[in-house]
Amino acid sequence: MPRRRTSSSSSSSTAPSAGPAAPRNRTPQPVRVRRRSFGDFVKAFLAFAVLLVLVAGVPLALAVTVGWPLPDGAPGLDWLQREITVQTFLHILTVIVWLAWAQFTACVLVEVKAALSGVGVPGRVPGSGPSQLLARQLVAALLLVGATAASLTPGLSQLGQSLEGNQKPAVAAAQQTPGLFAQQQEQAASTASALAEQAGQAGQAAARADGGATAASGDTKYYRIQPPEGRHHDSLWEVAERHLGDGRRYKEIFELNKDRVQPDGSKLSEASLIRPGWIMEMPGDARGGELVEMPDEAPNVSEQVQQQISDYARTGGDHAQGGGGAQGGGDAHVSLPEQRPAPGPATPVTPATPAPGPATGGQHATPAAEESGRSFGLPEALLAAPLLAAGLLGALGRRRRQALWHSALGAVGGRRGMEPPTPTGDAQDVQDALLVGADPDGVRLLDRSLRGLAASLAAESRPLPVVYAAWMGGNGDLHLQLAQPAGKPPTPWQVGQDQTFWMLARADAERYEDAETAAPYPGLVSLGTMDDSRLLLNLEAVPGLVSLSGAEADRAAVFASVAAELATNGWSDRMTITLVGFGDDLTPLAPNRIRHLDGFEDLFETMSAETRQRRGALGAAGHDSVLTGRTGPAQHTRWAPHLVLLAAQPSDEDALRLAELAADAGRLGIGYLVGTGGTDLPGAAWEMEITGDGKLLAPLLGLELEAQLLPVAQQRAVVELFSDADPERGPGGPANTPPFLVDISEQGRPAVYARLVGSYEIIGLDAPDGERSAQLHEALALLLLHREGVHPRVLASALWPRGVTEDVRDALLERLRAWLGSDPDGTPRLGTDATGRLTLAKSVVSDLDVLRSLYYEATQGRGVDSRQVRGRLLTDALVLVRGPLLADRPEGRYRWLTHEIIDAQLPLLVADTGLALSEFHLERDRAEKAIEALSAALRTAPADERLWHELLRATHATDDADRLRALAADLIGRSGARGLPPRTEALLDELLPTWRDGVAAAG
């Protein structure tokens, strides 16, 4: 987890400026310290005086002037016969005043507790009315100058704390202490934090000096990078984690070995680019049971390794502390493969999502490429946003499948069974960036972890805790930051750095199964990264507004990223996202979630009504917040979050109205993110600033993030991808033409023919030797399914989901080129187009290409004018279908197929072919031939309702009633508990009116 940062800017104060009066919220609103004015101090003093008089003065005056107003003993019958005097009236009035004082004091205590705990609307004291309103106003005025936004929101003030340490930083501790001296506490805490940081640096320097002294006495250690084991590669992070106790100390190893000549003649220039066999000098405190000590344990390593270490030690120069190395009798350490411990759990890192340190697995191409300024033409913002990319990619795939299904049912004419439009230009680059940058495993683990937590708490009859944020560590661990302690977390969750953090290790998260429960925290959204951890803010749980300041273009990139991830993320069920002031329409990303409003008046009208409705619904259901409604049998649509993103800056009057509207938003599941040109926004519980260099700052919370952005050009390209895949959009141009047509005559015989529909076979090439054969086959299959071209980084991401170095990727491409060879004219069969994408020559063909071409020729080419040609082409096409795509693919490979829609395209294409051939035969009254064609198509597309309908009609044409009844019974049995679709029932009523009698008899 990232450590909380202290900044000089956070400890300095600026002159207070006059501002608009604070809104009369139903609960005390967090107000920035620097907004305090002289008037605020006067109000606070008067409020303190009034509270002192009412709470302490009234009972004191009553005790002195009146005394005990009640009878000294138990009342009797004679008590009712006594004369009523003026003293009796005074005693009755005194009792009433005492009761009023007690009620007012209770109101003050309730309001103070609510203001300091940040729980939203405080509890109502029975019969209080104006008394509680007066107490609320007095408490708010008193706390106006004594509390910051962070101090009124415990838990948020810790948002930037480290998850490693168990002690709270001084700044966080000060911010958790509300009072009149909050500013002095913050300044003192900042000073203490700075001193602690200096002490820590001095300690590290002393440790390094100690290490240097030890090394000087002959204690230098070395480590030899190990060869890969399966798909796992060694990395400096893991070396530091095993031998130094902290993976983040990989930088020390890198600095000791940077630019030194390795045994193979190369040099270490990037921390993520290391090779097996390299020697690494280690810091003096390196330890580990797998290390081998030289020369004492020299017999345990080969003479060659000993010589390599000795030679490497002489290259140390200024890097080698002590310079002795193996020659000096030091502790040269070598890790042996058989002694290597199992690698710890790690987050799958794609080539597009590098951590600041070396990627888990060590073999990672992207960091080096990015740090050297080479982006390979892909949008870096999406490459660095794995959760956003995964959400967009999944939603785009669902949209394209929906378009195919609509096409199959005739909703969109002329596109049946064909591919979606091939993106070009910026849209193509964005699609490649999504393929490279997406981390679907991370999304899946996050979703299962959160739902598993909700299910465990529900099983224990415990409510969901309020979660302000989540941190996803570089090692895959998940840390939830709670608003307040919530007891011991359910197994396998553990308490983190303190009682307000719950932690789940990646290894435990991977054991979670899908849970049948509502998404507990759908409002989590990525803001950026700090060190090697990603911060997700629970936007619906923040008690008040979240403000974002900065330049308009920079704010727009943050707002677009937040909106796109909320609309498509994989850890939510339902959600409403209201956008105000957005220049571009984002509705195509999620038409069921996103809505645009024209301005603030529409927003206030809409949100005021929804706030009242939610508050009433919670009260009627007996819930204190939407979190209670998301567990157990009370799950309901009304508990889904409603998140409002206001990119346009509100006026002062609108800002005050907005602050009052958001006063109770935290418990209602409504979140507000508001853009502002300055830094003053009334009611802002959390204030952020986006800088021109992509930093997201929250000085009061100690956060400095690498912001997650979606710039306007990429935003428009993403919207273009979704708009082109809209199922309601009509075809444009010759959409029925396949992306790649082949010559199906004898003269067009290909040089290389790959059979993908069924088992994978390649004709025309010798089988490659060695362990790279499976990767070569997989790479060729990916290229064959994308005749428009494949970006090298997309290919690398598909073959190595955990990342790979650039040299390994290039070596595979060279093997692939050599394997495919060249055409007779000398043209390589694996080429590169003008955009740098890999393309195959027309002489390399798959059976899927032939199948598409045959169907196209039969229905739109030569077969249109010749019935005989159409029948032959359709028959040839159906013969090519031998089963599902890549039926015998090895387990663990071809995972990139989950991002493809070929699994929906191929059944539709086969069904279209079978239907066309059936129609061809029925025209000549060849019902048996039609049944044969439909049965062949059903083996690949068994769920296509159109095939079953035509099969019923063809069977009915045979005039064999028993055969038709048997087919109907088979179809009913396949439908299961869901029953037959309405159109199928209607067709059976027409063809076999007695079919329901058979169902009743069977029942």
- Which pLDDT value is given to residue 78? 63
Q: 235 or 520, which is more confident? A: 520
Q: What angle do CA 215, 221, 222 make, to 5 degrees?
A: 140
Q: Residue 927 in contact with residue 829, Cβ under 8 Å?
A: no
In sign, the C-alpha dihedral spanning 329, 330, 331, 336 is negative
Q: How many helices (H) and strands (E) does the chain have?
A: 34, 21
DSSP 8-class letter at 872: H
d(CA 891, CA 898): 14
Q: Residue 509 in contact with residue 562, Cβ under 8 Å?
A: no
Residue 11 has pLDDT above 60, yes or no: no
Residue 870 has pLDDT above 60, yes or no: yes
The average pLDDT across 907-919 equals: 91
pLDDT band at 931 (very low <50, low <70, confident <90, very high): very high
Residue 266 has pLDDT above 60, yes or no: yes
Q: Worst-scoring range by mean pLDDT, 69-78, 455-464, 480-489, 614-623?
A: 69-78
- Which pLDDT value is given to residue 580? 92
Residue 837 has pLDDT above 60, yes or no: yes
Most trustworthy range by pLDDT among 72-76, 319-323, 376-380, 453-457? 453-457
Residue 649 has pLDDT above 70, yes or no: yes
The average pLDDT across 730-755 equals: 74
d(CA 999, CA 1003): 6
Q: What angle do CA 618, 619, 620 make, to 5 degrees?
A: 95
- Which pLDDT value is given to residue 629? 67
Q: Is 512 left (phi over 0), alpha (psi -120 to 50) or beta?
A: beta
Q: Residue 28 in contact with residue 689, Cβ under 8 Å?
A: no
pLDDT band at 876 (very low <50, low <70, confident <90, very high): very high
- Which pLDDT value is given to residue 45? 81
Question: Mean pLDDT in the chain?
Answer: 76
- Which pLDDT value is given to residue 917? 94
Rounded alpha-carbon distances, angstroms, from residue 576 to 628, 638, 823, 846, 895: 19, 10, 56, 45, 32
d(CA 387, CA 127): 50
The average pLDDT across 891-911 equals: 87
The average pLDDT across 397-409 equals: 80
pLDDT band at 296 (very low <50, low <70, confident <90, very high): low
Q: Worst-scoring range by mean pLDDT, 84-93, 162-171, 306-315, 606-615?
A: 162-171
Reading the block at residue 791, the tokens are 């970006």
Q: 59 or 321, which is more confident? A: 59
Residue 298 has pLDDT above 60, yes or no: no
pLDDT band at 525 (very low <50, low <70, confident <90, very high): very high
> Could you report the per-residue pLDDT of 724-737, keeping only the tens digit for each?
887 766 544 444 56
823: exposed, middle or buried (Cβ count in 10 Å: 0-12, 13-18, 19+): middle
Q: Reduced to 3 states, what is the DSSP secondary structure of residue 494?
A: strand
Q: Is 451 left (phi over 0), alpha (psi -120 to 50) or beta?
A: alpha
Q: 630 or 208, which is more confident? A: 630
pLDDT band at 355 (very low <50, low <70, confident <90, very high): very low
- Which pLDDT value is given to residue 640? 85
The average pLDDT across 188-199 equals: 42
Q: Which pTM was predicted?
A: 0.65
Q: 83 or 51, which is more confident? A: 51
In terms of Cα–Cα distance, which of 240, 239, 307, 309 is closest to 278?
A: 309
Residue 475 has pLDDT above 70, yes or no: yes
H or E stretch at 57: none
- Which pLDDT value is given to residue 148? 38
pLDDT band at 299 (very low <50, low <70, confident <90, very high): low
The average pLDDT across 850-855 equals: 92
Q: What percentage of the chain reaches a pLDDT higher than 70?
A: 73
Residue 272 has pLDDT above 70, yes or no: no
Residue 646 has pLDDT above 70, yes or no: yes
Residue 159 has pLDDT above 80, yes or no: no
Reading the block at residue 194, the tokens are 């700075």
Q: Residue 520 in contact with residue 639, Cβ under 8 Å?
A: no
Residue 828 has pLDDT above 90, yes or no: yes
> Could you report the per-residue pLDDT of 687-725, keeping only the tens digit for each?
899 999 999 998 777 789 999 999 999 999 999 999 888
pLDDT band at 943 (very low <50, low <70, confident <90, very high): confident
Q: What pairing do the DSSP bridges indicate for beta strands 695-698 and 703-707? A: antiparallel
Q: Worst-scoring range by mean pLDDT, 129-133, 174-178, 419-423, 626-630?
A: 174-178
Q: 351 or 633, which is more confident? A: 633
d(CA 585, CA 599): 14
Residue 185 has pLDDT above 60, yes or no: no
- Which pLDDT value is given to residue 450? 94
Q: Residue 106 in contact with residue 135, Cβ under 8 Å?
A: no
The average pLDDT across 902-913 equals: 88
- Which pLDDT value is given to residue 714? 93
Q: Residue 927 in contact with residue 959, Cβ under 8 Å?
A: no
Per-residue burial over 553-586, b if 16 or more Cβ lie within 10 Å, else e, is: ebbbbbbbbbbbbbbbbbbbeebbbbbbbbeeeb
Residue 216 has pLDDT above 50, yes or no: no
pLDDT band at 226 (very low <50, low <70, confident <90, very high): confident
How many residues does the structure list for the chain? Answer: 1003
The average pLDDT across 801-818 equals: 90
> Could you report the per-residue pLDDT of 113-152, keeping only the tens digit for each?
766 654 444 566 776 677 777 877 787 777 655 543 333 3
Q: Residue 33 in contact with residue 148, Cβ under 8 Å?
A: yes
Q: Worst-scoring range by mean pLDDT, 286-300, 354-368, 764-778?
A: 354-368
The average pLDDT across 867-878 equals: 92
